[in-house]
């Protein structure tokens, strides 16, 4: 046995490692999109490290500007930027809430609820395999985040939802550009319903299940969440219809440019109450 | 023990660069995969087993920070790490130009394997992003070659 091991050690180790990973793969199958205990463990082990390394990187990167180059101005600028994001979110919610309300009493209730409707979080990492699928944010269950909470960008536009695993102070966000993401939407002008999902490869999305016989959809129309999926609240803008095509199937091929802009993806807002501002 | 510390340091370094990379541009992770660069280096320096173990660990870490089936990246990286160690013991690849070509070949093979596994398991294709992903093996090979150069200089300076 020792001689056999000595002669074939390398191949046996490779076989063992590959077999272990194939077992992990097969264990994942019945779970579907839900992460396994092992995957959660690795995430929980490395996510705080990512958070720490990110903070370290920010610290080192900001050293020059903070201590050599107008330290106070940089700090004030950061606070004002955060405040601008918060105000834009509030503005979006106010406009959406007020449009849907019929009386002033309800409007006052919306205004009162705004303070707890969302929380801001910073993006600390992107998906390690496919950046169009997910990002990691620096807030988690300690901030009240749970899977399926909608996530908006700094301008109040839908970019995704919180998914498992959710750590204490880190969480994963599935982006609308992921092919497994599905958002119930309608076109703002023609009110045609469909399901928005990403193509997972180019950062673009598709609007699915619009019948080929439906000619109401127009290029350039903005897509808005309908709320019928019971995950995303109604009234959030997601993207714009870019091209409309047809093939031999029952449905149209509608390409959508999402409003999600990776260059602006630094701070996001997580809706902590279902129905967003309206709740 | 020293090899384990070096491997652990390599993994932490790769994770640090991966964490900071998206600050340059969120899509930078498509151009360079630091985990591949570290596994190439581990295979070259440590041999088949070190390369395979490093590939498995790096793959699992990468998969845990990705949505989808857990384990795909690990399979491709484990195989690449093993064969990097195996082939580098059979042919002389220690001169920089030759090493770079060797790394491009191994990183390219890993991309092909990853693509095949993704097609088999997901029934889909990789995020090619208009061909941007095809640049990855070359950039990964450049990074790994540069890392090897730094390692060799550091070793020479400290008389290792």
Domain boundaries, chain A: 52-175+262-274, 183-258
Chain B residues in contact with A128 (beta carbon < 8 A):
18, 29, 35, 61-63, 65-66, 73
pLDDT in tens, B102-131: 999 999 999 999 888 878 876 767 666 667
Cα of A25 to nearest chain B Cα, Å: 6
> Is the CB of A33 less than 8 angstroms away from the CB of B126?
no
State how far the Cα of B113 lies from the Cα of B119, in Å rounded to an integer. Answer: 10
Q: How far apart are CA A185 and CA A270, in angstroms?
A: 19
Which CATH number, 3.40.309.10, 2.40.10.340, 1.10.287.130, 3.20.110.10, labels domain A52-175+262-274? 2.40.10.340
Element (H, E) at A38: helix A37-63
Q: Give percent above pLDDT 70 in chain A.
A: 84
- Residues pairing with A239 in the sheet: A223, A258
**How far off is chain A from B91, nearest CA to CA, in Å?**
18
How many interface pairs between A and B have CB atoms less than 8 angstroms apart?
152
- What chain B residue is nearest to A178 in terms of C-alpha separation? B67
Element (H, E) at A245: strand A237-246
Residue A262 · residue A167 · CB < 8 Å: no
The answer to whether A52-175+262-274 and A183-258 have equal CATH topology is yes
Confidence class for position B142, pLDDT limits 50, 70, 90: very high
Place of tokens 């996510």: A47
Q: Would you place residue B159 in the very low, low, confident or very high pLDDT band (cuts 50, 70, 90)?
A: low
CA distance B55 to chain A (A): 10
B26 contact A CB<8A: yes
SS3 of residue A165 by DSSP: strand
Chain A neighbors of B88, CB-CB under 8 A: none
Interval B88-104 mean pLDDT:
91
A168 contacts A277 by C-beta, under 8 angstroms: no
Q: What number is the ipTM of this complex?
A: 0.83
Q: Which residues of B touch A61 (CB under 8 A)?
A: 23
What's the rounded Cα separation, in Å, for the pair A243 and A256?
A: 7
CB A122 within 8 A of CB A267: yes
Architecture, CATH, for domain A183-258? Beta Barrel (2.40)
Residue A259 CA from chain centroid, whole number: 12
Range with the poorest average pLDDT among A13-17, A35-39, A102-106, B86-90: A102-106
Q: What pLDDT, on a 0 to 100 scale, did the predictor assign at position A279? A: 37
In chain B, residues 64-123 whose CB comes closer than 8 Å to chain A: 64-75, 78-79, 82, 86, 121
Of B39, B13, B7, nearest to B140 (Cα)? B39
Two tokens at A262? 């990776």
Mutant choice from B127, B131, B132 vs A, greatest count of A C-beta within 10 A: B127
Cβ <8 Å between B67 and A178? yes
Backbone angles phi, psi at A206, to 5 degrees: -130, 145
Q: Report how far residue A225's alpha carbon sits from residue B159's, in angstroms, rounded to the nearest whole number.
A: 64
CA distance A163 to A166: 7
Query: Among B26, B35, B128, whose Cβ lies nearest the Cβ of A131?
Result: B26
């Amino acid at each position: 046995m020792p001689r056999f091991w000595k002669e074939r050690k390398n191949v046996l180790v490779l076989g063992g490692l590959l077999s272990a990973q194939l077992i992990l793969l097969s264990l994942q199958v019945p779970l579907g999109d839900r992460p396994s205990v092992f995957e959660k463990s690795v995430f929980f082990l490395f996510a705080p490290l990512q958070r720490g390394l990110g903070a370290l990187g920010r610290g080192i990167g900001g050293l020059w500007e903070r201590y050599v180059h107008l330290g106070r101005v940089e700090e004030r600028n950061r606070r004002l930027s955060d405040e601008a994001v918060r105000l834009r979110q509030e503005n979006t919610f106010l406009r959406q809430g007020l449009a849907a309300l019929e009386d002033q009493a309800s409007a006052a209730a919306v205004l009162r609820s705004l303070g707890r409707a969302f929380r801001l979080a910073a993006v600390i990492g992107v998906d390690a395999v496919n950046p169009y699928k997910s990002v990691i944010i620096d807030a988690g269950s300690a901030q009240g985040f749970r899977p399926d909470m909608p996530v908006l960008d700094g301008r109040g536009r839908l970019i995704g939802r919180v998914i498992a695993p959710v750590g204490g102070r880190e969480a994963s966000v599935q982006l609308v550009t992921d092919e497994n993401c599905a958002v119930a939407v309608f076109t703002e002008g023609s009110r045609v319903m469909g399901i928005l999902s990403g193509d997972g490869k180019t950062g673009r999305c598709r609007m699915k299940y619009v019948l080929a016989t439906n000619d109401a959809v127009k290029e350039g129309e903005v897509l808005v969440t309908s709320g019928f999926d019971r995950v995303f609240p109604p009234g959030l803008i997601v993207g714009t219809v870019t091209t409309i095509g047809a093939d031999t199937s029952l449905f149209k091929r509608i390409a959508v440019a999402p409003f999600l802009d990776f260059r602006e993806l630094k701070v996001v807002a997580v809706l902590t109450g279902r129905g967003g501002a309206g709740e | 023990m020293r090899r384990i510390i070096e491997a652990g340091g390599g993994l932490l370094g790769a994770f640090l660069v991966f964490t900071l990379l998206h600050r340059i541009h969120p899509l930078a992770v498509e151009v360079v995969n630091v985990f591949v660069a570290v596994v190439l280096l581990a295979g070259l320096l440590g041999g088949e087993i070190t390369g395979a173990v490093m590939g498995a660990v790096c793959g699992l870490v990468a998969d845990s920070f990705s949505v989808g089936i857990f384990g795909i990246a690990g399979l491709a990286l484990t195989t690449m790490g093993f064969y990097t160690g195996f082939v580098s013991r059979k042919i002389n690849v220690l001169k920089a130009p030759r090493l770079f070509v060797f790394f491009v070949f191994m990183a390219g093979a890993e991309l092909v394997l990853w693509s095949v596994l993704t097609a088999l398991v997901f029934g889909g294709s990789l995020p090619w992003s208009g061909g941007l992903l095809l640049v990855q093996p070359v950039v990964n090979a450049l990074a790994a070659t540069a890392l090897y150069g730094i390692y060799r200089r550091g070793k020479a300076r400290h008389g290792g």
